[in-house]
Amino acid sequence: MPVDPTTRRARLLVIAACSFAAAGIVLPASGAGSGSSLRQRAEQLTQENSAIASRSRAAVLTLYSLDSQLARAQARLASLRTEAAAVDRKAAETRRELSIAKQVFANSQRNLAARLRSVYQQGDSDPLAIILGAKTLDDALSAVETAKAAAATDREIVARARNSRDRYVELQHRLAARAEKLRGLEASASATASALASARAGRLSYLRQLASERSLNNTQIGALESRAQAIEAQARRVAVAQTVSARTSTPVATVPSPTGAGTLTVTSTAYTLQGTTATGAPVGYGVVAVDPSVIPLGTRMTIPGYGEGVAADTGGAIQGAVIDLWFPTAAAAAGWGRRTVTITLH
């Protein structure tokens, strides 16, 4: 009694799953067992790589812009810090000079007060008294001029000291205001530079992620192409073997004539067991078991009510104009049952 192909498929499920998992390949649900399906998946990955390359170019341009903005922000921050340091040095110098000016002003006021006290205590503040107390007219005039000059000098010293003090006070206020403004500008520039640096780091991480995705896709594309070639080679070998066997044996069923160009009326049945096909690929939606003497392995077809399929499996019970269709669930298989359909061959 021949072995049911579905039983063989179930026994080989674990081996097939492990081999595909080791290769890192995720096959699509439709047509998972055919070389064409594997190539379609490889083409999808190639298209994904094209999209990734486009996103990478856009990300690189954004990165260039961020680099330029970050460089400007860092230069601005460095300039502000240099200016702030200069203002701080000037403010420190102004504080020292203001302290000196205040000391000079205080000393001038004390000297002027001491001179006035001395004049009034000696009682010779009256110019007439100075003249009367002088021995000669020259001495009298000299004494008067000296008193006037001393008073004028004291007043000038006090005035200059006051002006110097006021000037340094005003300068200190201006420097404090400038320092406060620079601190605000520096904080803003620092925040901008930090935000740009963070955005740049994020863009670099995104580029590394895209490169990783692209590398993984390239690996999967190579594995898919190799697997598709192996499946197609196995299908050709099985087809040749089936053809040789058909020529040396008596046909067990009469193949009905096609009802039209590229069409064939067949009896279709459904199954849902897991496993691998006669070509070595795992079963999946779109995998059709056929009699290779009627429909060569690798033939693509359109099945009314089912969709696209590919001849990728055989079975002892599949003889003549009979096909076996895979469904993902028992309910779906039971819903299809057994029916006669006219398929279109491609």
* C-alpha span between 259 and 321 (Å, rounded): 13
Percent of the chain at pLDDT > 70 equals 69
Instruction: Compute the distance between CA of residue 296 and CA of residue 85 in angstroms, rounded to an integer.
Output: 86
Q: Rounded mean pLDDT of 217-227?
A: 83
> Sorting pLDDT into bands at 50, 70 and 90, what band is 116?
low
pLDDT of res. 304:
94
Q: Which DSSP category does 345 fall into?
A: E
pLDDT, tens only, 4-59: 443 333 333 333 333 333 334 333 333 334 566 777 788 888 888 888 888 888 88
The pLDDT > 90 percentage for the chain reads 11
Residue 138 tokens, joined = 């020259």
What is the CA angle 199-203-208, rounded to 5? 150
Q: Could you tell me if residue 3 is left (phi over 0), alpha (psi between -120 and 50 degrees) or otherwise beta? A: beta
Return the H-helix or E-strand segment holding 267: strand 263-271
Each residue's pLDDT tens digit, 163-179: 878 888 888 888 888 88
Show the tokens assigned to 70: 């970050």
pLDDT tens string 246-296: 555 544 444 444 444 489 999 999 988 777 776 666 777 888 899 998 998
Name residue 326's beta-bridge partners. 271
User: 68-91: b or e for each residue (b if 16 or more CB lie within 10 Å)?
Assistant: ebbeebbebbeebeeebeebeebb
Residues β-bridged to residue 325: 270, 288
Confidence band of 109 (pLDDT split at 50, 70, 90): confident
User: pLDDT band at 308, cuts 50/70/90?
Assistant: confident
